[in-house]
Chain A
Amino acid sequence: MSESPVGVRQRGPKKKVGNGAEYSSVPGGSDDELLAMSIKAPRHVQSTGGRGYKIALAVITALAFVTRFHRLGHPNEVVFDEVHFGKYLEHTYFFDVHPPFGKLLFALMGWFVGYDGHFKFENIGDSYISNGVPYVAFRAMPAMLGALTVPVVFLTMQESGYSLPAAITAAMLVLFDNAHIGQTRLILLDATLILSMACSLLCYVRFYKLRDQPFGRKWWKWLLLTGVALSCVISTKYVGVFTFVTIGGAVIVDLWNLLDYKRGLSLQQFGQHFAARALGLIIVPFFFYLFWFQVHFTVLYKSGPGDDFMSPAFQETLADNALSASSITVNYYDTVQIRHKDTKAFLHSHAQNYPLRYEDGRISSQGQQVTGYPFNDTNNHWIIMPATPFPEEERLNRPVLNGDIFKLHHVLTNTDLLSHDVASPYFPTNQEFTTISMDKSYGERHNDTLFEIKMEHGKKEAELKTLAGHFKLLHVPSKVAMWTHSKPLPDWGFKQQEINGNKNVAQGSNIWYIEDIPSMTEADERNSKEPKKVKHMSFISKYLELQRAMFHHNNALTSSHPYASQPIQWPFLLRGVSFWTKTDTREQIYFLGNPVGWWLASALLAVLAGIFGADQITQRRGLDALDRRTRSKLYNSTGFFLFAWASHYFPFYLMGRQLFLHHYLPAHLASALVTGALVEFIFCADPLEKEVIDKDGKKTYVAAPKRSLVGAWIACGVISAAVVACFIFYAPLTYGTPGLTVEQVLARKFLGYELHFAK
């Protein structure tokens, strides 16, 4: 934060941070040209060494498909979280915390192969064969996406102007990574996520290279493609927002440079640049994202297991929904059964009283017990009585409205429900609920028997309906909400649930609904109403409701999982996740990265940070170790990859939900890019250009003669060999075959890798 004002005073250093070297006083060395040069250079290289890149790309792509598709059909059972397909094919509404795009892709695949979605994939180890699931086709989809990720990584390096060995190194780290392979050959969403994320980076690099032709056809093409790729990331999982941060950060730096008056852009032109990016990178992705939700709602038109996550209004939009079929308006003087939404207990009372003294010594009112009871019982019957009785002739068909105040009359004991300032049996802070006789109810205690109904999402004066109408019951004088919880009362309460008055009215567990109206006769005209039609709800309100529910449940995923891990463990690959085991063949799938590759990538991240630090410090002391193009590339390109890694990694520290190793995969991909870039930086000591001073003392820059890549090639070879060796060593745990002997398992077991069959 303090950086900016320093920059304000010391313009030079600030610019350096943003753009690498700053030599603008030198002719032919303006910042923009410099960058353009550094970008153009690879094209030049490409023209000479283009064939090398093409061959490498072809080989790498082929290998990627081989590694991903190898023994794809094994195991023929549900592995880990393979639950994401088939769901759309039955058209029944379901709820999931992830956005729909990735799941829709699987559904599309299922539709291609004619699968009906009957299998529910509930347990790890359920057989695909005996359930007749075309699982290989399903797995082929992520495997293909996973395989395509590798050439995208290679191309990102190539387009960013890195040498062939650098590009190969980066691609090898992803190509032979056990974690990338393991995660993408199963029916999981991550393959979609990682490919889209990699494509976003690639598209943005392509877009950035076209800066010298703004608003050209190609410029627009790559801008929009970046937007689409970004949209795919966020439509697969919400961690995609980190990719937006990455690209967004780069765009802000870019715009900031465009704003510089030395660039000669008028404010209007700048505005166009700004608007184009806002359109391409925010508006287009957002509509794309919404589009998938529209597909989601369109496909899922039937009621299903996800109904309970949504509001009654939403549920009424689904076909064959129990709510829309059977909800009936509740009238005054109806006998009703009132049920608690969370614990499914009925509001109940019986002729026994509260004991005078509880175990902890507190004293009760000794009034009649009011409890929660989960079974049908005539003691659950209550009559809704108006606060002041209606005239005799006007009692029929007076619906209960939202916000009404009424009394509840217990039928069998002929008493009225009441709450008062006496502590409840278990909660000294909550009010006791009891009943009192009619004479008192219409006498001195009248006010204490009044309750107000507050419907959830209900409009003012909306009619109360059975089942569909969720409400809170507020005690009028004391403003507490009727509440119950699952801890049973002691023997004196027959182990039924305690009902009490909760002062925290906003609490979600205060919600009740009317289960049915036992007093309603066959002849009641409410029965004869024609069955209701499926209702409509605007897309926007459906979307907003679902979005809220998704965020809510995502944050609620805090329960512990035996294989959950902490972000700090990921770069060091301290532990993995056991995906699947088969005891008789001693086979197992243990999700784990390639240790050599991960540690190398993580170590080089630290090296890069060190290089940046050292460069800043030496520059601060007026020393200069780098030539300007090397520095520009280091900060603009490698720095961008580092930023991508950081923005895909550090936010996880702030997340309260349970986390797994696979959350690191996008960040790992970025770290592979950094590794490739640094291999070139470290092993290619020659500067990218030379400074020549002519007779007039003017400086010009000349591209350095052909740089020696021998060092980089050797490094690339050594790294590739080590990575491949380590990959093969861990491959049995990634592909789940062959089974390993105890010694073989023990050889692979170190750090926190909790492998099975080690004994």
Chain B
Amino acid sequence: MANNATAYGTGADLQNAGMRQRGAGELSAAYAPLPTEEDVSKLKKKSCVSEVQKSSGIDIESILAPIIFTLVSFWTRLHRIGESNIVTWDEAHFGKFGSHYLKREFYFDVHPPLGKMLVGLSGYLAGYNGSFEFKSGEEYPPELDYTYMRIFNATFGALCIPLAYFTAKEFGFSKKATWLVTLMVLCDNSYATISRFILLDAMLLFFTFTTMLCFARFHNLQKKSFSIEWFFWLVLSGLSIGCVCSVKWVGLFATAVVGLYTVEDLWNKFGDLDMPVFTYLAHWISRIFGLIIVPLAVYMASFKAHFVILENSGPGDAQMSSLFQANLKGTELGNSPLEVVIGSRATLKNMGYGGGLLHSHVQTYPEGSGQQQITCYHHKDSNNDWWFYPARDQPAYDPESDEIRYIGNGDVIRLIHTQTGRNLHSHAVPAPVTKSDHEVSCYGNLTVGDNKDHWTVEIIDDTSGRDYSKLKTLTSSFRLKHTALGCYLKAANTNLPQWGFKQIETTCTKKNNPKDKFTHWNVESHWNDKLPKADVKAFKSPFLKDFIHLNVAMMTSNNALVPDPDKQDDLASHWWQWPILNVGLRMCSWEDKVTKYFLLGNPFVYWGSTASLGLFGLMFVFYLIRWQRGYDDLTLDDIDHIHYAGLYPLIGWFFHYFPFILMGRVTYVHHYYPALYFAILVFGFIFNHVCERIPRAIAYTLYASAYVVTIGLFVLFSPISFGMTGSADQYSYLKWFENWRIS
């Protein structure tokens, strides 16, 4: 009996499991059965096939429309592009960064390098030598073909329009909705304006658009998994993701959309019990390759190129490790002897991000011990120089003798400040700011002093090998342990008050944390006449380390771009102002003689797209409630369409918008532009969805009026994109609201 029951039970279980999987059986009693999942895929296939057939047939629209749209878009992006001959808005930054590539000088910036390298390329093609300073508002010199550089950039902006067209097509929008989406991208004044200058935004938009096109195309190819075409678009998605992330980190949000889609897709396939395990694994592997490895390779390649091109020392040196700097041309760093010995003069750099050089000066602490201050300081001067001296209980250093005494892991030394002759010293006095640490001071001289001047060298790492018996310039990272107190020399990013000239507080921390980068030091510059200069090859800096270091430094600086409450910033705006087009941005000075550009969107595009987000939400809830009440409004095709062509763009909008709400940094209107594209797609979706369900006459009227309003408003507002000459007061008719500071 028991056996029987078990047997029955198992059978029933299977039956149940199947039912749960499909989950449609339950409806059978009262309602017409919904198709099972297999039917779904069949239906989908059918619809896709018919779509493909449609598009592969000769359809004049599908050839002519993109061509016409592209031509018009080039006109809108290039018309009067050279009108303003002054450095406009952030051209001051990105033009300058482009110049650095031409001069091949190392610089530091918060954005990844691809976009700026492209700017550099445009300058190179324009025959520009990189000598212009790109000061904001300054006139371009005659030899600099800024028009060419702008055209290069505008090409990216113009190509967004055909991309939008094809994406809308791939999303299965009707012709009219496709045109609407394309027109909205084409006739948005903010897109048109931002594409006309030497900025990164046109490129960012371009790669965001390509990512969405790849997403849509790839989804349509799901039925042809593992075909050549499928692989082609998978890799193309990966390249596109790699590029968008290499232009600005905002690209990560586009990546997140594709990532979410992939996770969902794999989860769905996981539930497909008919799929062989190997096929499923192959799905995973191909996605890992296409969507993780390829983008990462692109991203890293852009940094590799960045390092290769920027081979000279430049303004960004200080952000990088000493070892990296030693490899740049034009620095003294590479000319040092390799091994540090007793009697060497050297500077010590803190290896934490943003760390400075160990520094002392004659000023004393106003509190605590009252002894001479020790700080960390980025500026290079002779107060950063230290002598390596033997501990007091060891034979004294004799400058005349030729004996060379190497310093190894665990050796006890003294450090003597060359300018004042005092010893690096610590004692059980609380540090001035970080009270829990010991104070570090400079005390005594060659003869006066005690064992509290002693420091033990603990080598943590050496990029040149595992040999820790000799402390080496640049390559060794070491900690300095106070021999008597057992604490570690540390300089975190705490600034001293005015009496310490706002330099970085240097303390001796009681925590023994070998991973704490702020307790790691390396010898940066090193002078010793008795030793030969090191072979430059000894200072090879591993790419991966530099890559990670630079990325962390970028992140740190990006987070540091917080709004200063005391500083007023006319240009900054808040997240809530963007979707409702509450504010615009003056891109240049507002004098009469200047050609003025005002960064403001097409009101219809902004308000319409924002409203569509809410409408989509309402529609979604409406259908959901109807479904829960047992109504069968939508076919499976409709549901699939809502899911991929409506919901995913909405998620994309959310991903591109929401982080800016949380972000503490200063935000500007152009941060909304990638999100706007997703909102436009949702708008297109709503139009498409609604107009299929209402009488044709009304639908046509709606479409026609949307076209007219979009184009009309673009034309009306075109002066702000094409440049306003003369007094701004002539354009006061465009100032619909107080915050649109056009006049």
Contact = CB atoms under 8 A, between A and B. Distances in A.
Interface string A8-40: 111111111000001111000000000000000
Contacts of B565: 507
Nearest to A619: B20
A654 interface: yes
Given A10-B37, A699-B12, A5 B629 contact: no
| Chain A interface extent, by class | 35 or more
B23 A8 contact: no
Contact of A622 (B21, B268, B567): B21
B568 A504 contact: yes
A259 B647 contact: no
Contacts of B19: 12, 25
- Most chain B C-beta atoms within 10 Å of own C-beta, residue among A9, A23, A485: A9
Interface string A591-607: 00000000000000000
A553 B567 CA distance: 21
Nearest to B18: A622
A4 B264 CA distance: 12
A23 B16 CA distance: 8
B624 interface: yes
A5 B647 contact: yes
Contact of B8 (A503, A617, A693): A693
A691 interface: yes
A529 interface: no
B647 A2 contact: yes
Interface in B604-636: 620, 623-625, 627-630, 636
Contacts of A619: 17, 20
Given A259-B629, A504-B568, A654-B662, A8 B22 contact: no
B628 A260 contact: yes
Nearest to B662: A654
B9 A693 contact: yes
Nearest to A5: B643
A523 interface: no
Given A11-B34, A429-B567, A622-B17, A22 B40 contact: no
A6 B27 CA distance: 17
B12 A13 contact: no
A261 B629 contact: yes
B273 A12 contact: no
Contact of A11 (B24, B260, B268): B24
Nearest to B620: A4
A15 B18 CA distance: 15
Contact of B12 (A11, A16, A693): A693
Contacts of B17: 619, 622-624
Contacts of A442: none
Given A504-B568, A691-B9, A693-B12, A12 B624 contact: no
A259 B625 contact: yes
Given A1-B647, A2-B647, A5-B642, A261 B568 contact: no
Given A5-B647, A620-B271, A622-B273, A11 B5 contact: no
Contacts of B566: 485
Interface string A330-344: 000000000000000
B72 interface: no
Interface in A682-700: 690-693, 699
A1 B651 contact: yes
A11 B27 contact: yes
Nearest to A430: B568
A699 B8 CA distance: 10
A650 interface: no
A691 B651 CA distance: 43
B570 interface: yes
A11 B21 contact: no
Contact of A621 (B40, B273, B570): B273
Contacts of A262: 26, 30, 630
Interface in A604-647: 617, 619-624
B567 A12 contact: no
B330 interface: no
A621 B27 contact: no
B270 interface: yes
A22 B651 contact: no
A503 B568 contact: yes
B264 A6 contact: yes
A256 B625 CA distance: 8
A619 B647 CA distance: 26
A327 interface: no
B628 A259 contact: yes
A503 B570 CA distance: 9
B12 A4 contact: no
A2 B264 contact: yes
A502 interface: yes
Which secondary structure characterizes the binding site on chain B?
Answer: helix
A430 to B, nearest CB: 9
B270 A620 contact: yes
B23 A256 contact: no
Nearest to A22: B20
Contacts of A620: 267, 270-271
Contacts of B37: 9-10
Contact of B627 (A8, A16, A24, A617): A8
B21 A12 contact: yes
B639 A11 contact: no
A9 B639 contact: yes
B316 interface: no
A485 B565 CA distance: 13
A12 B23 contact: yes
Interface in A364-390: none
Nearest to B35: A9
Contact of A624 (B5, B13, B268, B628): B13
B410 interface: no
B9 A429 contact: no
Contacts of B268: 6
A261 B630 contact: yes
Contacts of A622: 14, 17-18, 21, 273
Interface in B631-668: 636, 639-640, 642-643, 647, 651, 654, 662
B665 to A, nearest CB: 14
B39 to A, nearest CB: 11
B25 interface: yes
Contacts of B9: 691, 693
A563 to B, nearest CB: 12
Interface in A561-588: none
Contacts of B271: 13, 620-621
Interface in B567-626: 567-568, 570, 620, 623-625
Interface string A699-714: 1000000000000000
A616 to B, nearest CB: 9
Nearest to A617: B270
B20 A9 contact: no
A82 B576 CA distance: 40
A674 to B, nearest CB: 26
A11 B23 contact: yes
A10 B23 contact: yes
Interface string A393-414: 0000000000000000000000
Given A10-B37, A502-B568, A620-B270, A16 B628 contact: no
B16 A8 contact: no
Contacts of A621: 270-271, 273
A6 B23 CA distance: 11
Contacts of A503: 568, 570
A12 B13 contact: no
A16 B264 CA distance: 17
15 contacts: A1-B647, A8-B639, A12-B22, A22-B23, A24-B26, A25-B26, A259-B625, A259-B628, A502-B568, A620-B267, A620-B270, A622-B273, A623-B17, A693-B5, A693-B8
Given A1-B654, A25-B19, 5 more contacts: A1-B260, A1-B651, A2-B261, A8-B624, A262-B26
- The 9 lowest CB-CB distance pairs between A and B, nearest first, are A12-B23, A504-B568, A261-B630, A5-B643, A11-B23, A693-B8, A622-B17, A620-B271, A2-B264
